Structure 1
Amino acid sequence: MYTAELIKGKTYAVMGHVFLLNQVKEIEKKVFQYLDGNEFFDCKQLDVPVDDPKTDDQPKEDEEPVKEEEEPQQEQKIYTEAELKGMNKTEQEAIVIDLGGDPAQLKDKSERIAFILEHQQQQEKAGE
């Protein structure tokens, strides 16, 4: 099991996770690998076997070995308007930041939602 805690800044959104300052969240291995070493986070691996810390990386007999990529790909979650309306301001602002925007430039909830929906569409088109 892996955890990450945001120790600098107010919010941070990455790979479908929204982190709030001083909040410990359980994360997947790929998110841990992406955030480990980032000065804004305190990342921990909680289930390291005492006898063999590399066990996690070795494929089991019936599994194909996983090919590691040079950089982890950021899987951008696509949010619906209904999901965004159900989020609080902090969560919306974290997504705006993740999309490269400045939440201070957006006056209210409707502007944040419009910004997120528009930039998601632009990123989808750019990724095709």
Structure 2
Amino acid sequence: MYTAVLIKGKTYSVMGHVFLLNQVKEIEKKVFQYLDGNEFFACKEVKAPADDPKTDEPVKEEEEPAQEAKTYTETELKDMKKDEQEAIVIDLGGDPSQLKDKSERIAYILEHQEKAGE
């Protein structure tokens, strides 16, 4: 198992993962290899105990789709901070720098999460 933490910047999206500042995130080996050595990340390999045959990987596989399938309401989005909204925009394949303000980010998320759910 591998983990990465964004230590510089606000958000970073790579290979289907969206990182928020100081958030520890489990990643695959190929993502680890890509990010290891990047000054914006602290990456490490976490060894599972030798006597414990189960790993966290199956749990992660169950968690990720639920997180991607989350449908946000307009009220939830209005209560979020800018960087949280931007992370969702990135998850939906958008570019937050193209959206001028909070209302545009919310409109983008509401529209694109409907398309992603279809």
Query: Counterpart of 1:102 in structure 2: which amino acid?
Result: D
Paired position in structure 2 for 1:32 = 27
What CA deviation, in whole Å up to 9, does each residue of 1:1-37 have, x standing for no partner?
975311465303667x7512xx1x344xxx3337533
Please report the TM-score for the alignment, with normalisation by the length of structure 2.
0.62
Give SS of 1:100's match.
Answer: coil
- The 3-state SS of whatever aligns with 1:94 is helix
User: What SS class does the counterpart of residue 115 from structure 2 fall into?
Assistant: helix
| Aligned-residue CA RMSD (Å) | 3.6
In structure 1, distance between residues paired with 2:105 and 2:72:
12
What is the DSSP-based 3-state SS (H/G/I as helix, E as strand, rest coil) of the residue aligned with 1:42?
strand
- Whether the aligned pair in 1 keeps the contact of 2:3 and 2:44 (CA below 8 Å) is yes
3-state SS in 2 of match to 1:90:
helix
Q: Which amino acid aligns with 1:32?
A: I
Greater helix share, structure number:
2
Give the stretch that moved more between structures: 37-46 or 83-92: 37-46
Question: What is the number of equivalent residue pairs in this alignment?
Answer: 104
Superposed displacement of residue 92, structure 1: 0.8
Task: Determine whether 1:108 maps to 2:101.
Answer: yes
Deviations 1:97-125 (A, max 9, x none): 12111112211111100100110000000
Q: What residue identity is the alignment partner of 2:28?
A: Q
Q: Residues of 2 paired with 1:43 and 1:82: CA distance?
A: 35
1:43 paired with 2:38, answer no
Letter in 2 for 1:82: T
Instruction: Give me the whole-angstrom Cα distance separating, in 2, the residues matched to 1:78 and 1:37.
Output: 32
- 1:121 corresponding residue in structure 2: 114
* 8 Å contact kept, 1:18–1:91: no
Which structure's CA Rg is the greater one?
1
Q: Structure 1 unaligned runs (5+)? A: 60-65
Percent identity reads 53
* Distance of 1:79 and 1:43 partners within structure 2: 30
Separation in structure 1 between the aligned mates of residue 97 and residue 24 of structure 2, nearest angstrom: 29
1:82–1:42 CA distance, 2 compared to 1 (3 A): same
